[in-house]
Every structure is written in C-alpha cells, then in structure tokens.
Structure 1
Amino acid sequence: MRYWHPFTEEAIEQIKRDGITKLVVLPLYPQFSISTSGSSLRLLEAIFREDEYLVNMQHTVIPSWYQREGYIKAMANLIEKELEKFRSPKEVMIFFSAHGVPLAYVEEAGDPYKAEMEECVDLIMEDLEKRKINNSYTLAYQSRVGPVEWLRPYTDETIIELGRKGVKSLLAVPISFVSEHIETLEEIDVEYKELALESGIKNWGRVPALGCEPTFISDLADAVIDSLPYVGAMAVSNLEARQSLVPLGSVEELLAAYDSQRRELPPPVVVWEWGWTKSAETWNGRVAMLAVFFVLLLELATGKGFLHQWGILPLA
C-alpha cells in the first residue's frame, strides 16, 4: 500500500526474497486516475529504475477493471440489498459518490478517470435495470483538498441541492472505494449523513464497500489469470482499443500515455490535520469537547477549579 503497511517498498523486498521474475500489477482502484493508480505506478517506476533486480522485470499492468462483469455484478448486488432496507425502495435516489481528482488532470493531462467513472455508473445502472430496478441516480465527487478546482459536481453541494429539490430518501454508493476507510466511515457515514439530514433528506442509507465480497474477489482473481499471457508482451498501440479482459501495457507505457507531465500530486487526506481546514473541523471539535468534559469531571471530583472560582459551580 502507499500509506500503510505493507508499503509498496516492503512488498517489493518480499518479491525479491521470493525470487519472483514476472509480475502482474493490479492497482486496487477500479477506475484509472493519475492521482491514484498513476501515483502507485510512479513509485513502481522509480523503484524499477533504481534496482538491478527489477530493472528488467517482466510485468504487465491491469490499469482499470471497472467494466468487468464480476465487479459490476457485485456492486449491483450490494445496491439491491441496501435498497430493500428502505420502506419505499422505488422512491430512493441512488447517490454515487466518487473520490475527486483535480480538474486539470482531466482537461489538460488527459486523465481518463471522469470518463471511466461515468461509464462505470452506467454499467451498474444497466445491470440494475435488468433486475427491474429503475431508481433515479446521480454521480458526484468527494474528498477535494487544496485551493485548485476539482471535478464537479461536489458531493456536499449536491446533497444540499437534492434536499432543496425535495429528495427524501438517499442511498450513498462509494463507487471508487473497495474497502472501508476514513473517506467512507467518517466523510460519508458521519459528515455527509449529517449534511443530508440537515438538508431535509429524511431517509439515509449507505452501500458498504466491496471488501471481501466473494463475487468481487473471484473476479479480481480471474483478471489476474486473464492477464498472465501478456506478462512481458507488447501492449496494443491504440489505448482506445483495449479490451475489457486484456490488460494494457507496462508501467512505463501507461505513465507515458496518461501522466507524461508528472505534475505534483495532491497529498492524501490527512486525518489528524490541525488548523482551519475542512478535514480538521470534526477532529478539532471532538478533541475540544473531550477537553471540556474532563475539565468538568475534574471540577466535580475535586470541588476546585476555574468553574468554582467563577461561581459557575458552587464551592464545596
């Protein structure tokens, strides 16, 4: 992993100890973006270049797999299951919330993320329609950081707008996340849920991340097996001609195609960030509440302190 154990560097060292000579690189991001899969490939590029053991390592990369049948089916299964928990399932709007990326990546650098995300949502909805599920739906982007423009519409602004339009039931779908973490458990489950309720949305639900859902895991395994004949082989020259089951190219080829400018990437979302920042508000507030609680507890236990001196609590 990039930001926790086992880190990419640790995995590479294990690969060398095991004497591996061929690799299938499978980023756990369904849709390709310069800032996600591309960031991981940048790191691999640097490691490959500096290590004699890895410099000629035969490998292939599965750049994205959002269009695979198993993934689409697994997502549709989870959505269908969560819809059934609502009193009136047909009235629920399906709200796809994807991790955002800087707008310049898409408009200037040719990042395929937005196009792949929109196609992914369409494929999931097509699968649901085959099941006679025809709910309204929308797509928005979350987790923006910094002063630059990010992909719109923004998740928070969209939730407020849906409330104004009279939407009463919303099912959030974390479409670009395959595991639970701060952006699902805190940003969606706490911040966006609170915002939705404040905006007039009465019924809120959230589709869990795929995690180890059997259909999903089996499909990832099939993706790797499908890619084995292409390890070390030449990639197709036309990026638009790639097949859903045929992985495309090497680390170098993908970066040359999608990330030739090597712009500075935005930092990951930081949980413990202090100051006047959006991501810090919740944690700063909670720490302050805990501090007040312990001060009050200490005052009551000892009968001394500022609150007693100021006359807010009676002296013992």
Structure 2
Amino acid sequence: MKVGVLVFNLGGPESLRDVKPFLYRLFSDPEIIRIRWGLLRKAVAYAIATLRRKTSEGYYAQIGGGSPLRRLTEEQAAALEAELKSRGKNVQTFVGMCTWRPFLSEAVQRIPDSGVDSLVILPLFPQYSVTTTGSGFAALRRLIDSHSEFRKLDVQWVCAWHDHPAYVESFAQAIERELARFPTPDRVHLLFSAHSIPERYVKEGDPYLEQTKKSVELIMDRLGRRNPYELSFQSKIGPVKWLEPMTQDAIIKLGKQGVADVLVVPISFVSEHIETLYELDILYKKIAEEAGVQNFKRVPALNSDPAFIRALADIVESTLK
C-alpha cells in the first residue's frame, strides 16, 4: 500500500513583488477577516494589502527579500519522506500552502496520479487554531470534495500534535543546545513566544491557547529545569483584542526587572519565516537591547532538525495505525 502525506503551512512571498498579492490572499481568508459577504471581505482584504504593502516589503527586504518558508517546507517534506522510507513505508509527500505557492490546489491536483492508496493530511502547526489548521482543512475539504478520484482514498486528518512526546523532545533538545551558549544557563529566563490570535476565537472554543500552554508545560517538564519561564504572544494585527501578554511587552518588563539573560522559544513556529527572522531576531532584539537585556538569544525553528523529522514520522505512523 502506498501512502501519501500532504504537509501544509501558511506560505509566504518569495520576492518583494509577491508581497501585496500574498497579503491579499491572506486577508481574503474568511477565518482571518470574518466578514460574511465575500465581495466586501475581498474589498477589505485589498485595502489592507494596499496599506500594508510598503511596510511589509521593508520587513521582507531585511530578511533577504522574501520568505524562506517554501524552501524549508519542501526540505521538511523530503526529509520526512526519506525517514518514513527508512522505516519501510511506501510513501510520497506533497507540499501545499494556504496563501502562496505551491497552493493547496496544486498539491491536491498531483495526488490522484501518484498511485497512493491512502492520504494523511499533516498541518505544520503543532497547536490547532481555526485560523491556521482549521482554515487549511476547510480549503482542503472543498478541493477534495471537488475531485471524484479522492472517494476511493482513505483520507486521515491530523488535527494537532502539540503534546506528542517526540515533538516535545525535539523542542526540548533545541532549547538545551541554546541554553548551553549562556554563561549561567540556570539563570536564563525562557520566554515562549507564540503567534497570537483574536481573543474572541478562544472564547468561541478555539483550543489554541490551552494547547499552547500544554506544549510549554510538557517541554518544561521534559527539561526538568528550574529556570523562570512564561508564555507571550506576537504578530498582532488590527484593533481587536488579541491574546496577551505581547512578547515585546514581556521583554520590556523583564528588562525593567533587571533580567540579563533571555532565551526566546518560538513555540508555535516550526520553520523560519518573517515572524522569527524579522520580528524576533531584528525587531524584538532591538527592543531587548533598549530595555537593558544583556544576552538575548532565540532557539532556532525546528526546520529539518533530525529529531523533529523523526517526530513528524512518528505522528504519521501513529495516524496510520
């Protein structure tokens, strides 16, 4: 039996000229901009994309002129396929993105001719949110329902893997490596930073906050350390109330408290992209310096770390059982 694994992420502009159309697609998502009428939502998305274009282009210019997310996701998929094949699986991976190339529709079109008998849908979001995994699932269900070839496939959906032991282990190992770079590792303040979402989504039942807290708890249990730690949120957009505290505010607070060593853990990001390379490494690093934090470091995103790839393979295998 041949197994297909469709891995998907948000996507990101690969060049500066891609920024505006990427933003338009992002804000056209009904789970991002909750406007019932499609034409009005698209008009609002176009306005936001137009207003944010120059600022966003400036951010991407500072990280090389585009997002590395496609390359990194394709590397993750290739490594996952190799790992599963080494375990005796007849498998083929596919890559799709919610808001940029390769689009989910392109990935779905490739699957029927690949000869797979079953399909695992694997979001690269450890914690479930309707804004990420949920939005991608909705788009994929529409695409799959429109292809009669999928009726003969056993399709399985991985909703979340925030508490999977192998994921916890891979992140714990990454944290331990970075802690070793500090003169006094036991005194380092661990600041877990997750992408924020509107607070009302959580009140409506979105499990993202609780799952993120659980990830932090399990990682700290695995580390077995007494380092002070906390969870904060980043990447807020718009005037509505989002999950707090915001990461930049947490950094300023730590500086005022005289904390010298801070290690940021990008708990909801498994690949480097704008939120890590610009927001954490450039913007927040400057805020930390101005706040008096002497040693401000970040745990790299897991990317294709062998321990993380093994974790993804474990998740796929457990889904197939």
Taking structure 2 as the reference length, what is the TM-score of the superposition?
Answer: 0.68
> 1-side partners of 2:173 and 2:138: how far apart?
34
> 2-side partners of 1:70 and 1:51: how far apart?
34
- In structure 1, the partner of 2:146 is 50
> 1-side partners of 2:218 and 2:185: how far apart?
20
From 252, 266, 273, the counterpart of 1:174: 266
Retained in 1: the 8 A contact 2:196–2:234? yes
| CA drift at 1:177 | 0.5
1:125 is aligned to 2:220: yes
| CA drift at 1:119 | 0.6
1:225 is aligned to 2:317: yes
1:194 is aligned to 2:286: yes
Specify the code of the residue in structure 2 equivalent to 1:218.
Answer: R
1:89-121 residue CA offsets vs partner (Å, 9 max, x unmatched): 11110010001111111012x000000000100
- In structure 2, the partner of 1:291 is none
Specify the code of the residue in structure 2 equivalent to 1:120.
Answer: S
Identity percentage of aligned residues: 44
Map 1:229-240 onto structure 2 (within 5 A). 229=321
Specify the code of the residue in structure 2 equivalent to 1:212.
Answer: S
Taking structure 1 as the reference length, what is the TM-score of the superposition?
Answer: 0.69
- Which aligned segments of 4 or more residues in structure 1 are displaced greater than 6 angstroms? none
1:253-310 residue CA offsets vs partner (Å, 9 max, x unmatched): xxxxxxxxxxxxxxxxxxxxxxxxxxxxxxxxxxxxxxxxxxxxxxxxxxxxxxxxxx
CA RMSD of aligned residues (A): 1.3
Max radius of gyration: which structure?
1
1:28 is aligned to 2:124: yes
Retained in 1: the 8 A contact 2:170–2:311? no
Retained in 1: the 8 A contact 2:120–2:156? yes
1:17 is aligned to 2:105: no
Paired residue secondary structure (2:145): helix
Paired residue secondary structure (1:170): strand
- In structure 2, the partner of 1:152 is 244
| CA drift at 1:145 | 0.6
- In structure 1, the partner of 2:99 is 3
| CA drift at 1:49 | 2.6
Gaps of 5+ in 2: 1-96
From 55, 68, 71, the counterpart of 2:164: 68
| CA drift at 1:55 | 5.1
- In structure 2, the partner of 1:116 is 211
- In structure 2, the partner of 1:281 is none
Specify the code of the residue in structure 1 equivalent to 2:312.
Answer: L
Retained in 1: the 8 A contact 2:156–2:319? yes
> 1-side partners of 2:126 and 2:106: how far apart?
23
| CA drift at 1:56 | 6.1
Greater helix percent: which structure? Answer: 2
- In structure 1, the partner of 2:201 is 105
Paired residue secondary structure (1:97): strand
Paired residue secondary structure (2:276): helix
Paired residue secondary structure (2:282): helix
Greater strand percent: which structure? Answer: 2
| CA drift at 1:39 | 1.1
> 2-side partners of 1:228 and 1:79: how far apart?
30
> 2-side partners of 1:143 and 1:80: how far apart?
26
Specify the code of the residue in structure 2 equivalent to 1:126.
Answer: D
1:51-103 residue CA offsets vs partner (Å, 9 max, x unmatched): 22235642111111121111111111111111111112111100100011111
Paired residue secondary structure (2:149): coil
Gaps of 5+ in 1: 230-316
Paired residue secondary structure (1:3): coil
Paired residue secondary structure (2:233): strand
How many residues align structurally?
A: 225
